[in-house]
A and B are shown apart, each in its own frame.
Chain A
Amino acid sequence: MFQLKAAVGRILQLGLVLWAVVTILFLMFRLMPGNPMAAYIDPTFTEEQQLALMAQFGLDKPLWEQYFIYLANLVQGELGQSFRYREPVAERILALLPNTLILTFTSLIIAYVFGVLAGAYLAWRRGSAVEQAAIPVVLTTRAMPEFWLGMVLLAIFSFWLGWFPAGGTRSAGTDHGNLLGLYTSADFLSHLALPALTLAIYSQGLPLLLMRSNMLDVMKEDFVTMARIKGLSNWTVVVRHAARNALLPVMTSFAIAVGYQLQGNVVVESVFSWPGLGRELVNAVSASDYPLAQGAFLMIAIVVILMNLIADLLYALLDPRVTHV
């Protein structure tokens, strides 16, 4: 009963957050300077065309009416039609989302596996020469701008050594059938390597440092001392006792990082010509393509909200002391 109530409250809360996001998005793009009609200005652009376009985009109606039409459509799962591409927003987003998700998850998994292991190792080797050399390196990689890092990797591994292609998800003109065929092909993986590596290098700092400081905290706790007193090996103490407990906040940060990463992809997608949602978002905003920009942002917001929810639930699962009252 208590659980059910909590769950219902949680869902209502989600609905409210979504409504607020939707409303802010709607107003934000319309208040920004710019005009979606600007893309059509041409010597042969007649008054008749201008009126037809306004009507087609629904921009001839008052703002409040546009807002209610937008809400009503959203409730029916309808994201509208892109001004720029004249095609349903949902279709465009669905075409690009898989590319963004695979890049995001690949890079984050690499970053977190590496970060957790390296963080635990550095905590274990606290005070050693290795740690003293490693921390500045980690801080440096975290401070490097993504586009710069991307360009450097591109210059070295693509233009100079020629090991990896410079952009896209596949070689020009190759057909891999469906998405599964594409994602499992060597061609795709070689295209994925550099953008994923760029993002992974950029993102590994957070889990690494988080893991390390958690480990240092946990290692001071009584149960670790207890384990040592029991005479367990150093390895067992670090891995089975300390690391498992130190992992909790890192898991949460992973879930949240997925959301952030979707935005962070913008830069990397442009550097590596990756056909993803981030690039689309930037284009949509600069072209005042309201429906597309709203749709893309909404999609990212939903992923962020969902990942937060998952983080909360996961936490409760991993650590029974945490409950939602």
Chain B
Amino acid sequence: MKLIHKAALATALATLFASAPALAGDPIRTIDLFTRPQAAQPQEFQSVQLIAQEWRKLGLDVNVRVMPWEQMADIVWYQRDKWDVTAWQMVGRPERSDPDEIVYNLFHSSTAEKGYNFIGYSNPEFDAVAEAQRVEIDEAKRKQLVYKAQEILAADQPNMMLVHPKSTFAYDKTVWKPDSVVNQSGIGIRNTWTFMSLEPLGDQRDIIVNSGDNVQAVNPLYISGGVDSWVTELLYDRLARVGPDGLPKPWAAESYEWKDDKTIEVKLRAGMTWHDGKPVTVEDVKFSFDAVVSGEAPMYKPFATNVAGIDIVDDRTLVFHLNNPAASFVTSSLAKINLIPKHVWEPVLEDLKTKEENAESYQEDTPIGSGPFRFERWLTNEEIVLSANKDHFNAPKADRWILRIVPNVEAALGMLRSGEINFIGEFSGDPQVLIDAAEADGDLNVVSTVDIGFRYLAFNERRAPFNDAAFRRALSAAVDRRLIVKAAFKGFAEASNSVVSPALEFWHDAAVVENFKAGQDVAKKILEDAGYTLEGDRLHYPGDQKEEYAQ
């Protein structure tokens, strides 16, 4: 009797195991994929639609959720465990010509809780590399570290890199001498260098440039909107500027020299004056850096906190002492902090100390800098007028620089053709339209440049299955980036697999992009190897893993 029982039990168990699939987990929940609306971000929206399609072929259920930036950012940033995947973008700025800001702030585990590592990526090996490249002053060694960081990211795929878009701008070549236009690596032709060197060919000597966004503030102690920085970069000098090749070069500083890995000596250029005629002194320079960390300028503060102290050696020489060695110091601090006149700002900051507001809310009637252009006037939401500072050591060749606020992108193009503006500073429409218009017109030059910035999908590493690098690799591999470049960006982009843009030639590790294999077969193979299974049409977790985030 007993024996028969046992045998029956054994057969029953055997059939049970045989009929059940070998070690299958729960089906993976419906994945939410965030994107901004088509009207606001057509390329992002298009990319997301293509990606969702490819992921569905892997057996995933994908729900594309469209929402405006403010709402999307609110969830991604302030409810960090409440989302799965989101489209995101990083814009190119001159200071990002040094890879440190991107490599460290986006991926170091210390910024996961409240900083820009909102994806919750944590890899001790990566942390070590990111920290090491920060303090490595030797460029060749640092380059190896930055390469290493790119390789780790390529293997881990914490983000799914999509493309580096191309920035496309245009100008009237009958007004401006084409040779005088400077194409800044990773930024494009709309940059400070161009505005200083544009050479008029005829009677029109005013640079008239458009922007779709309003100017929020013209304030050397407040990092506000992107357009605002076009203005502040022209009004204020910095000790260094990021050059057309993406590398920093001395500017208001005649030279700088590392004395050791925590000490840098800066020699101020002689004969500079503020727009009110007073001379620029080493006291002003020291004051500018002190003002940033005074507590009155929280946005700029991170760029100067590494400065332990500044010694004034003589009336042209200063020595900066740093808390820690910082390879990116020249780009991210000397080329970032605006020089401001002590005689203007000292009383203002004193007064602000007694008030609730800080310097970010303080708008001067006439901002005083020492830069290549002087402030003339500002009409709310309509235009800003600057005039050339002929006393500057790199005086502009044009007479005035006028920024016109034009929210209607078609009107901006019409204005370029009619001469109401003569330089497209921002074109949010299809770049092909700009090129076609230039062909029809004959007077226009259009220039596209690969950007430092990039578009990507961010995976929330806090939530399974995105905590599994293999899963992320598979999702990333499922989409051929050439499809995104062609279909969503109409060719105005370059396929990417690295946060360091190919525009930054020195730092960009081309191998991680070349070695990236994409395709449905590659993706399916990775999933299979990692133990994910297809039951019917639905992808399941490996092993006995349960779905913890189902709604």
Contact = CB atoms under 8 A, between A and B. Distances in A.
B116 A42 contact: yes
Contacts of A45: 115-116
Nearest to B416: A166
Nearest to A171: B420
Contacts of B360: 86
B382 A169 contact: yes
A95 B380 CA distance: 7
Contacts of B214: 283
Contacts of B138: none
Interface string B224-239: 1000000000000000
A264 to B, nearest CB: 17
Contacts of B77: 35, 37-38, 41
B78 to A, nearest CB: 7
7 contacts: A34-B70, A56-B357, A270-B407, A273-B411, A275-B380, A286-B68, A286-B70
Contacts of A283: 214
Given A42-B223, A96-B381, A286-B70, 19 more contacts: A35-B73, A37-B74, A38-B70, A46-B302, A56-B361, A86-B357, A96-B380, A159-B418, A162-B418, A165-B418, A165-B420, A168-B383, A168-B406, A170-B382, A271-B408, A273-B404, A273-B406, A275-B379, A287-B70
Interface in A267-301: 270-273, 275, 279-280, 283, 286-288
B156 to A, nearest CB: 19
A279 B408 CA distance: 11
B352 interface: no
Interface stretch (A47-55, A108-116, A127-135, A209-217): A47-55
Contacts of A280: 381
Contacts of A272: 408, 411
A255 B424 CA distance: 41
B68 A34 contact: yes
A261 interface: no
Contacts of B303: 44
A159 B421 contact: no
Nearest to B213: A283
B408 A43 contact: no
B383 A172 contact: yes
A271 B208 CA distance: 19
Nearest to A271: B408
Contacts of B382: 168-170, 273, 275
Top 4 A-B residue pairs of the complex, sorted by shortest distance between their CB atoms: A34-B70, A38-B73, A35-B74, A43-B105
A275 B379 CA distance: 9
Given A44-B105, A275-B380, A172 B402 contact: yes
Nearest to A147: B408
A19 interface: no
Contacts of B389: none
Contacts of B511: none
Contacts of A170: 382
A60 to B, nearest CB: 13
A265 interface: no
B383 A35 contact: no
Interface of A: 33-50, 52-53, 56, 81, 84-87, 92, 95-96, 151, 154-155, 158-159, 162, 165-173, 175, 270-273, 275, 279-280, 283, 286-288
Contacts of A40: 299
A270 B39 CA distance: 15
A87 B224 CA distance: 13
B99 to A, nearest CB: 12
A74 B417 CA distance: 47
A172 B102 contact: no
B496 to A, nearest CB: 17
B73 to A, nearest CB: 4
A172 B421 contact: yes
B451 interface: no
Interface in B59-103: 67-71, 73-74, 77-78, 90, 101-102
B272 interface: no
A85 B219 CA distance: 11
A113 B354 CA distance: 57
A41 B73 contact: yes
Nearest to A34: B70
A242 B98 CA distance: 78
B408 A173 contact: no
Contacts of A52: 298, 358
Nearest to B403: A172
Contacts of A169: 382
B509 interface: no
Given A56-B356, A173-B400, A270-B408, A158 B383 contact: no
B223 to A, nearest CB: 8
B418 A158 contact: yes
Nearest to A58: B356
A162 B418 CA distance: 8
A62 B148 CA distance: 47
B405 A43 contact: no
Interface string B292-326: 00000011011100000000000000000000000
A58 B492 CA distance: 43
Contacts of A44: 101, 105, 116, 299, 302-303
A177 to B, nearest CB: 12
A159 B70 contact: no
Given A34-B74, A168-B382, A172-B383, A85 B105 contact: no
Contacts of A168: 382-383, 404, 406
B407 A159 contact: no
Contacts of B394: none
Contacts of B383: 168, 172-173
A304 B52 CA distance: 47
B302 A33 contact: no
A172 B206 contact: yes
Residue among A34, A36, A45, A167 with the most chain B CB within 10 A? A167
B408 A46 contact: no
Residue among B90, B224, B298, B411 with the most chain A CB within 10 A? B411
A319 B299 CA distance: 62
A81 B361 contact: yes
Nearest to B404: A172
Contacts of B363: 86-87
A279 B381 contact: yes
B385 A159 contact: no
A210 to B, nearest CB: 32
B407 to A, nearest CB: 5
B414 to A, nearest CB: 4
Contacts of B152: none
A167 B377 contact: no
Nearest to B100: A43
A46 B206 contact: no
B41 interface: no
B298 A86 contact: no
Contact of B418 (A81, A166, A173, A279): A166
A167 to B, nearest CB: 5
